[in-house]
Structure 1
């Protein structure tokens, strides 16, 4: 259980790290902190005392307590290692090991120490990781946004990274309000290609499954809708199934079972990614439906899962390793610019958008 003084201490520290309290700024008085947290003066003094001892705050007799300028201490400290953090929603699952390997290989060659973090697509975890990174002498960050379809509650931490001149780039998605340098796929076009491939094979009753808390899923769904409209095929609203990250193993499976039991069996499925495709293939096996004879299915990402089962998936190619390596090269260039080892006019680090490409295998057929 968190103690009262540690709660006060963490709150003050978080406000420093997210830029609410800037260096040399006076923090709330002891009386204000007592009222805010409903604690004693003794508790407040313990919390402030520890932050002073750790170099986060300093006291001025008769004036109050102020935020220390930690950047000066870090600049004076001898820097023995170069550090880049890689933050993804997941680390060991799905396509993420390939992305991380691509980045890690290049960064190691360039003499950087790499720290890996996973948010588990959770904003609270993202906040703790950003606080941790802002507490360290980090050179740069490669980060995959958490639940990028939603407004981000941690946006102040990114503003603080910019204020401290710590470069960061985003992969797979980005927070629109920040307009960061990023490496992404043209996911709307990818969703369009998935769906139009099936339409050109004669399919009209196509069910789409899309994750709705990441912008990738929202864009892919838009592509699905656009393909129907472009080809003048009416969309049945019940054929669009959305789910959150927490629901990915349950809701799509349950919804597909309902559709198959309704008597209105679809002829094809468009899936948010290859991982989801395998969950749905289990349902089709259970119902003794054959792919592609009874139902066609298209994945996304061309992950190792696309060829892991007896059904070899038609899917959209994701750059994975290439994306990771390019992200690593870009962050190194930004670090060099920051350190004055490269002139800004000589280096162009710009957003990269990868165009989708359909990989044809045996999970789809012409009606």
Structure 2
């Protein structure tokens, strides 16, 4: 970086304020405010002077401040686990589509599965005065979200069933979804299945593990013997690669692999191929989410499908209804998943 001694740093032009407009037009602040919000109260001549000043100064009104004054907040905040994950990208699109129907806007943030980062965004959105928040919690501790709700901020849990009566939620039955995936592998004669899972602080990881255990026990198998669980720190492709590397290093690789989501499955498949293993001949692979790339891989991925965009649409709809006239009571909506079978799963070797 190059600096010049004795010279103040150059900045872009200052944004014009409502005071600048009033001074330019030779009117009071109240008159400018009336032109912006109640133009019928201002004479045509004065209104023309103010509009000319606005155009000359390229003045842009502060929408957030005006919404606060009018009591018509139209901004909604959403904090998702990882917006780089195609699953959450589709969820966000669903949120945006529903908000657009109501002429509302979306502020989107990613917690990166970090509760502290999530807490910072919760504060930021509350300070901004959003209508409400849609949150995929980064932790099983919901107290910060309950506190927001008690302060009058609308909160809807997304991709997580709410254990608290005060909070609405929209989710998929992850226990049933994981059970479907494992039952499919069991039907193909796999009897020892690896599971690449994430931190137990994330509810989806807890529920998908519970579904796998349920399926194994229903088949008369001991989960301690039939399941080889590998826990990774990140629910992405790098996590999947690390999980497979750890699994193969143990020397007793199972015949099938269930991954907590499709991104980890993508990394897992990449790692299996780098070790010279064929899919599904050497190891069958099943993912979870059925994101858009799942069917496009070299070996199309068997995955548990969630109604991704619908999750976002319904969650946004719940938030809008809760904030609207009558203030609808909290609701828990839970969708059922669907197993989509493709080439990545196969019979045991």
1:356 to 307, 317, 337: 337
Match of 2:169 in 1: 182
Match of 2:206 in 1: 218
Give the TM-score of the pair, scaled to structure 2.
Answer: 0.74
Q: Distance in 1 between matches of 2:112 and 2:193?
A: 31
1:242 to 231, 239, 252: 231
Is the 1:169–1:182 contact (alpha carbons within 8 Å) kept by the matching residues of 2? yes
Q: Distance in 1 between matches of 2:82 and 2:139?
A: 12
Bigger Rg, structure 1 or 2: 2
Match of 2:117 in 1: 125
Q: Secondary structure at the match of 2:293?
A: helix
Q: Distance in 1 between matches of 2:261 and 2:68?
A: 48
Q: Deviations over 1:300-328 (max 9, x none)?
A: 00002312320101110011111111111
1:313 to 291, 296, 301: 301
Q: Distance in 2 between matches of 1:251 and 1:275?
A: 8
Give the TM-score of the pair, scaled to structure 1.
Answer: 0.70
Q: Distance in 2 between matches of 1:122 and 1:76?
A: 30
Is the 2:280–2:345 contact (alpha carbons within 8 Å) kept by the matching residues of 1? yes
Q: Deviations over 1:305-352 (max 9, x none)?
A: 31232010111001111111111111111111xxxx3x35xx565211
Question: In the superposition, relative to structure 1, how do residues 248 and 327 fare at CA in structure 2: closer, same or farther (>3 Å)?
Answer: closer
Equivalent residues, number: 282
Match of 1:281 in 2: 269
Instruction: Could you tell me which runs of 5 or more consecutive residues in structure 2 were left unpaired when the two chains were aligned.
Output: 1-64
Q: Secondary structure at the match of 1:77?
A: helix
Instruction: Could you tell me which runs of 5 or more consecutive residues in structure 1 were left unpaired when the two chains were aligned.
Output: 1-72
Q: Distance in 1 between matches of 2:119 and 2:148?
A: 13
Question: In the superposition, relative to structure 1, how do residues 131 and 257 fare at CA in structure 2: closer, same or farther (>3 Å)?
Answer: closer
Q: Which moved more, 1:250-259 or 1:227-236?
A: 250-259
Q: Distance in 1 between matches of 2:250 and 2:259?
A: 20
Question: In the superposition, relative to structure 1, how do residues 249 and 311 fare at CA in structure 2: closer, same or farther (>3 Å)?
Answer: closer
